[in-house]
Structure 1
Amino acid sequence: MPAVTTSTAPRPTACPGLARIVAALDGGICRIKLPCGELSAEQACALADAAGRYASGVVDVTNRANLQLRGVRSGDESALTQALIDAGLGPDGRSDASGSTDQTAQSSQSATSLAADDVRNVMVSPAAGRDPQASIDTTPLAHDILERLRTDTRLHALSAKFALLLDGGERLAMLDHPHDIWLAAMPSAHAEAPLFAFGLAGCPPVAGDGAASCDVTRATLAAVEPQHAGMLVAALLHTFLDLAEPDMTRMRDLLGVRSVDELMRHVESRIDFPLVCHESIRAWRRAPADASLRLGAHRQRTDDLYHVGGQAPLGRLNAASLRGLAALARELGNATLRMTPWQSVLLPDVPSRHVTAAIDALSALGLACRSGDPLTRLIACTGSTGCAKGLADTKADAMQLALRLPAGVDVHLSGCPRSCAAAHCAPHTLLAVAPGRYDLYQRDALPLQSGFGCCVARHMTIDEAAAHLSRQPWSPIDA
């Protein structure tokens, strides 16, 4: 076995968390991680109350199907964290019900619990367990992995950015976000249940994607039987901690200095079950997904039940709209909400007789439920009103662009090169260079094209960008 490092100190991070309130121009930011993107109606109301009492009332849906509170007031950080823990939004999903009065024991339990919060980065389809196209329900595996992350204190040394994807083959799935570890259900010719193919530092390969054939970040390494998937993930996580230097936060960092073969030998030394690895697995491609299924009503696996979804404008809700969503979930669904990695919201388990009412109610709350709405094709970061690095008011500029956005065009507005709002590569990016001014980038079919793509126009106003987006064909200009 290769030499290992033994440090269990958490890797430094500037990411917001449940107790780590990060300062911004508009106040503190608190991030709430939702297991499988799920939020109960009761939790939604508690979150809305906390957002109004301790923060600005602004609630952002993130591109990992979590939530962020903005404008947390100085001095209210601890009270906010406690309110969220009391609402069951901490790593153990509940407040302390032990009744213990031992202050030292409670403090130790709280520290362990909050350390576990950072590593709860397991993403599934918002329709997991309900999508009729899925090969397997990934939610039991997701909760098994989340429990391992909570209880195995060595795993608390992972970075707050270290992320996992569990793909059950759903038609509604985000497949473009790179993950440190991904598992995807694939058919098996030798068993009734599908296998889980897996890879590192990338995304599952997709049929028809030219990048999949030459991009190492979309390579399938091997597969495992479903009953071994949780143990495989544990072995992969411990292998990363065994081999990674303390300053390495992501799997791609480790792969920069260690080969995939070396990592896999180390993984195999930690498991007592076989990995399935042959040419048909390496050649496997997942069926394409359809992000438009997050909008409107779509039948679930169970007869007469639908999930109904709407896009929050630029991913932003407020305390009132969150309470309204909670009321809808109670009245028309199963009293839960599902956040999505497109920064939208699903109401699951809506009976067919309530579908029209659900769409009308979501629209009344300001959510876009139809793919023709320009707001379903725009992403924008917080921008200069909330971030010191932002060079333009991207939220306001995106709303202006929505009035002129050509049909079928998807655009990402970023206030700086960090691209906080989009984990995937958008077809078009407007990168702020000054207030109200942007460079326009386009991504083309080049499989290994990096960053935002190719710059096609510079220092444009929003109106100029809208006009340019309406013109075809694209013609990159000289810098």
Structure 2
Amino acid sequence: MSTALRPSACPGLLRIVQALDGGICRIKLNGGAISADQADAVADAAERFASGAIEATNRANLQIRGIGEQSAALIDSLLAAGLGPRTAAGDDVRNLMLSPTAGIDRHMCVDTRALAEQILDTLQSHPRFHELSAKFAVQLDGGEALAMLEHPHDVWLSACERDGETLLAFGLAGCPTDPAVGAVALENGHALVVAVLELFLERARPEQTRIRHLLDELPMLAFLEQLSERLPVQAISDWQRTAATDALHIGVHPQNTNNRVYIGAVPPLGRLNPSMLRGAAQLARQFGDGSLRFTPWQSLLLVNVKTSAVAQVLEGLKPLNLLTEATEPLSRMIACTGSNGCSKGLADTKQDARLLATMMSQPQSVHLSGCPRSCAAAHCAPTTMLAVSPGHYDLYFRDAALPGFGALHARNLTIEAAATLLDARSRSPLDA
């Protein structure tokens, strides 16, 4: 496979991007899924050709960090495991997010996996779509209870029921919790994505790399009118998804098949080593369906586990340091690479997060970011600590009326001071 790629700051499988701790290779997983054998191949590649650091990303992909001079051998080993794109130019645009429980969720309206495969095939095989930005992203959910609904996407589609018919509501430059701008019949889902992308590429100037840039000057209604000339679009302005239930990606949850569950496990702060990944893969072979599903919460699921095997799986995850209880402080925290691996990081965020977890009396959802780019979180977390210097952070609380991290609450806090403040706030009846 040719590796002649356009320049980009985004790593891919075929494009190793340099960081302070070495090269980064991003492995895009179709729908977040990976077979146990492929997981072993990732573990082997990280161990043989890099530092051994493996990251679960907030788009349900994997990254290998600390790659040195053996980058070509690493890429070849991952391609041999079937983890690459169908064409080299198609790697950048394989940005389709599914629910981690697609096909098995008890609340889903439709199994989206076949449609997702069709969309991914088109993104990779149509040369025109290779012009899209490496950050251009599509989301598809089938109405599952476990779905990341807060990450902005260029195009999102969400299954819903209307008058006995299953439709795909959709929106542009936003999230499924925003009001939908229209809907199409289920069988037109693929055609909708193609039409939106073609219309965007026809109308956008080169510097307008995302749909939100085009919509800054082309009114939404005008875009929808042009879209309606290409396929039937229905009005569905009064529909939007409600936020997902918290912590469905952690622990044991029933599937839509009797006597089957999925088990969510969180690698602390999204970081795995080869032994952790191999161990999870072996549990998937022994007790699941031989696959793992990664999630936008930087965690993984073992799916299709018999209820009779739950205790054995949970016992097997413990020595791997994969967390399965939402009461464990590190299961609710996210942190970017930080100054240990990124030249832009102003603090060692992962080490600071571990310290913070030992100081708080109860688990809280906290995001530590080494700089304003917020690489670890594509959505606004309830609490964000933004590094200003080693061991010191500005503290923000999410506010729907404010952009970015939300409302600035305190400046230049030490980890100890942040822990004290967060504990006090969690006990306040005003914040219950």
| Partner of residue 227 from structure 1, selected from 165, 187, 190 | 187
User: Match for residue 200 of structure 1?
Assistant: 172
Q: Distance in 2 between matches of 1:35 and 1:71?
A: 24
> After the TM superposition, which residues 7-406 of structure 1 pair with which residues of structure 2 at under 5 Å, given as runs?
13-73=8-68, 75-92=69-86, 113-191=87-165, 194-205=166-177, 218-271=178-231, 274-277=232-235, 281-406=236-361
Provide the identity percentage.
52
CA distance in 2, matches of 1:187, 1:448: 30
Distance 2:215 2:429 in 1: 36
The question of whether the paired residues in 2 share the 8 Å contact of 1:406 and 1:469 is answered with: no
State the Cα deviation string for residues 145-186 of structure 1 (Å, max 9, x = none). Answer: 001111111101111111111111111111111111000111
Q: TM-score, normalised by structure 2?
A: 0.95
1:369–1:228 CA distance, 2 compared to 1 (3 A): same
Measure how far apart 1:288 and its partner are: 3.4
Aligned mates of 2:57, 2:16 — CA distance in 1: 16
User: Distance in 2 between the 1:161 and 1:395 partners?
Assistant: 25
Distance 1:86 1:237 in 2: 31
Distance 1:335 1:318 in 2: 20
* Structure 2: distance between partners of 1:27 and 1:282: 48
Q: CA deviation at 1:190?
A: 4.6
**Runs of 4+ more than 4 Å apart:** 9-12
Out of 359-368 and 375-384, give the one that drifted further.
359-368
Alignment check: 8 A CA contact 2:179 2:240 kept: no
RMSD: 1.6
Distance 1:451 1:244 in 2: 26
Which residue pairs with 1:465 in the alignment? 418
2:406 is matched with: 453
Q: Alpha-carbon deviation of 1:409?
A: 2.4
Instruction: Please list every run of 5 or more consecutive structure 1 residues that lacks an aligned counterpart in the other structure.
Output: 1-8, 93-112, 206-217
SS in 1 for 2:359: coil
Contact preservation (8 Å) 1:177, 1:424: yes
Aligned residues of 2:5 and 2:15 also touching (Cα < 8 A): no
Instruction: Give how far 1:248 is off.
Output: 1.8
Could you tell me whether the CA contact under 8 Å between 1:19 and 1:77 is conserved in 2?
Answer: no
List runs of 5+ in structure 2 lacking aligned partners: none
Question: Once the 2 structures are TM-superposed, how far is the Cα of residue 133 of structure 1 from its aligned partner?
Answer: 0.7
Aligned length: 425
Query: Does the 8 A contact of 1:165 with 1:179 survive in 2?
Result: yes
CA contact (8 A) 2:270 2:299 kept: yes
The answer to whether the 8 A contact 2:179-2:239 is kept is no
TM-aligned CA deviation for residue 261 of structure 1: 1.6
C-alpha spacing 1:474/1:464, structure 2 compared with 1 (3 Å): farther
Give the Cα separation in 2 of the matches to 1:129 and 1:11.
35
Q: Tell me the distance in 2 between the aligned counterparts of 1:270 and 1:117.
A: 27
